[in-house]
Structure 1
């Protein structure tokens, strides 16, 4: 299974990186996140993190959770995850942040790879990828874009 989500945000690379790595703030910023707790480490250094979110389906919200090993790369402004518990155990996730050529913007890309899902989940991996993983990642990027750009407007006005 492979999914790719991307969005262009009006900000610099460091700002996007700070929002991408400070996952414990996501439940405050993103309504589809129910909780993020580090079992070990922190967003500054990485560690073992449990994430809980919902995938809305009218009329209900499907709860999902996973535990990941999070690694933060300051040099490249990238964040990497390896899911170690939950339905998606073994999935690898890469957050990439690239400047856009005409300046003042960055492209944030999330790539999910689940090359060897457990046997019982192999048949469902396509549905899990499109219906859950891609949809939640898209909501995450849209929500972070709104938060970052809204913060920039408030700083200009204030």
Structure 2
């Protein structure tokens, strides 16, 4: 049985679309944005994307994964395909859409767990709500906080805390 976990997180950010896009795509900075992300290593750089490995602690549990990132700046989209780790097969999409009140940022996670018998149960009761939902909401909030601080003060949170 194939199990699909589908999660959507959304917010409106008060910042230029290109600044939001740049920060969302810059996975090397994510460990500075939220403590759950401990490290990031770029494995390959190519036009329009990267392959990277990331690790950290999601709700206290060790996590490590490898993903391929594709950037579509003209469409306001970033796509991550997880190729190694417990989230292998997960597709994560960032959609950025300008609106009169700011930029609507939608973060969508789709995971197909190809685990016999328990796949659906594991994705719906454990992987999705306990891990993916938690880190997705934290990531989106961290990007929002960082980019809106940059717009209002001209400095990142790491620059502000260094003062």
Do they superpose with TM above 0.5?
A: yes
Structure 2 Cα separation of the partners of residues 120 and 45 of structure 1: 38
Structure 1 pair 25/119, CA: closer, same or farther in 2 (3 Å)? same
Structure 2 Cα separation of the partners of residues 119 and 83 of structure 1: 20
Judge conservation of contact 1:79–1:95 (CA < 8 Å) in 2.
Answer: yes
Between 1:137-146 and 1:69-78, the stretch displaced more is: 69-78
Structure 1 pair 41/133, CA: closer, same or farther in 2 (3 Å)? same
Across the aligned residues of Structure 1 and Structure 2, the Cα RMSD in angstroms comes to 1.9
User: Runs of 5+ in structure 1 lacking a partner?
Assistant: none
Judge conservation of contact 1:117–1:125 (CA < 8 Å) in 2.
Answer: no
Question: How many corresponding residue pairs?
Answer: 149
Name the counterpart of 1:66. Answer: 65
- Residue 22 (1) aligns with residue 26 (2): yes
Per-residue displacement from partner, 1:55-114 (whole Å, max 9, x unpaired)?
A: 23xxxx2221211111111211211011110011111111111112x24x1111111111
Structure 2 Cα separation of the partners of residues 24 and 121 of structure 1: 34
1:121, CA displacement in angstroms?
5.7
User: Runs of 5+ in structure 2 lacking a partner?
Assistant: 156-163
Name the counterpart of 2:115. Answer: 118
